[in-house]
Amino acid sequence: MDKNKIHIQLVWGTLLVLAGIGVFFRIPQVMPKIKTIEYFSSVIWFIYICFYLLGILLIMGGGRKIWENYRKLKGKGSYKDSSDNNP
């Protein structure tokens, strides 16, 4: 992969991680407003789970993108490209 594309992927991964962290900081501010909506008051636990799952997935996806593209940048390749794997 071209080094320019790898750098773009690293930036994109960093943005995903930052968005995931932002979700965790935003949840305590938004949840009191959502609790006031009568329609959602009975399933508030589900909304908590969805928000936290969203944050975790953003952080994990961004971290994976950073990890793999950093390895490509350093010349080690990714674990998918490795010839050590036996099919």
What is the tens place of the pLDDT at every residue in 8-60? Answer: 999 999 999 999 999 999 999 999 999 999 998 889 999 999 999 999 999 99
What local confidence, expressed as pLDDT, does residue 76 receive? 67
Largest pairwise CA distance in the chain:
57
Structural domain boundaries in the chain: 3-72
Composition of the chain by helix, strand, coil, percent to 5: 80, 0, 20
